[in-house]
Amino acid sequence: MTFFSAAAVAGLLFMSGVSAGAQDFTLKWSKHAMNASRTGCVSASADNADEAIGIIDGNRYVSPNGNVFTDKGTTYDVASIVLAAQSVMSDVKQVVGYSPEAMPRAYPESAVSNLFVDVIMQSVGELADEDVDVGITNFGGIRIDMPEGDILLDDILSMFPFKNTLVYLELSGKRLMEIFSQMAETEFQVLGGVRIVAENGRIVSAEIGGEPVDEDEMYGVATISFLLNGGDGLYLADGAENMKVFQIDIKDVMLDYVKSETAAGRPITYHTDGRVVIL
């Protein structure tokens, strides 16, 4: 999260036609991390709002770290709004899993992006009753990092907020090499089932299932609806055969995975494995 400096706000007021006296404002932006240093607030679960966010005591807001703010300031107003919303948000604040360490998003691969595409591959294979060799999803579909500690329903909903559904299709090795080459020239998306090395915008090597891509072979591909016809510059439907579209949102697939792992007594962890290397 970020906020903007007073100079930036003054500049915006000036550009919006709000009177600021005779002073000539220059628009400047500065960005600062919001680290809860003033309040000690953390993300609240369903039953710990007082401990995580603090309390409103009359005309005072008492923050988790003990600092007190009166109703004359913005901090009190914001805290009042956030605390009032907690009862409405209680359903999405339920704990659905646990991660022993944070999994931040990173390019060209990360633990959370690898987890995402590998779960999608497994789910699509089961739904389509087909062998899935390759997974292609997108980094833009993962909106926040996997947190360390308790995983809330809200975390999963915020991580995968878009209405993207699951798709199975078959693509030739030649078509897949075209897609991989396009990614090497622009940017890679989230890939599974492959091992690709790229350098200077070109593919150095590409393997599927541990073998070099055979341009004459047909491969089963798991993907999402957003990437079929131009999303993030990809047109995976072009040249596709045996396409099957499933009206199942990616957030539901990921939530089912987290819940099933939790029910089995396993934490949510994953790994990087060098599936995409840019030299």
Q: Could you please state the CATH topology (level 3) that the domain comprising 97-278 is classified under.
A: 5'-nucleotidase;  domain 2 (3.90.780)
Please state, in angstroms and rounded to a whole number, the distance separating the CA atoms of residues 4 and 69.
21
pLDDT tens, N- to C-terminus, the chain (279 residues): 334 444 433 334 333 444 445 556 677 777 667 777 889 998 888 888 899 999 999 999 999 999 999 999 899 999 999 999 988 888 898 999 999 999 999 999 999 999 999 999 999 999 999 999 999 999 999 999 999 999 999 999 999 999 999 999 999 999 999 999 999 999 999 999 999 999 999 999 999 999 999 999 999 999 999 999 999 999 999 999 999 999 999 999 999 999 999 999 999 999 999 999 999
Going edge to edge, which strands form the sheet with 165-172?
190-192, 134-137, 218-224, 165-172, 241-249
Please count the other Cβ atoms lying within 10 Å of the Cβ belonging to residue 161: 15
Enter the pTM of the model: 0.79
DSSP 195-207: EEEEETTEEEEEE
Please count the other Cβ atoms lying within 10 Å of the Cβ belonging to residue 222: 28
Closest CA to 37 of 75, 73, 7, 72: 75
pLDDT at 184: 97
HSE of 178 in the Cβ direction (CA atoms, 13 Å)? 13
Rounded-to-10 torsion of CA 226, 232, 238, 243 = -20
Sequence ranges of the domains in the chain: 1-34, 40-93, 97-278
Place of tokens 């993300």: 43
What residues have CB less than 8 Å from 12, skipping those under 6 apart?
A: 27
Question: What 3-state class would DSSP assign to 46?
Answer: coil
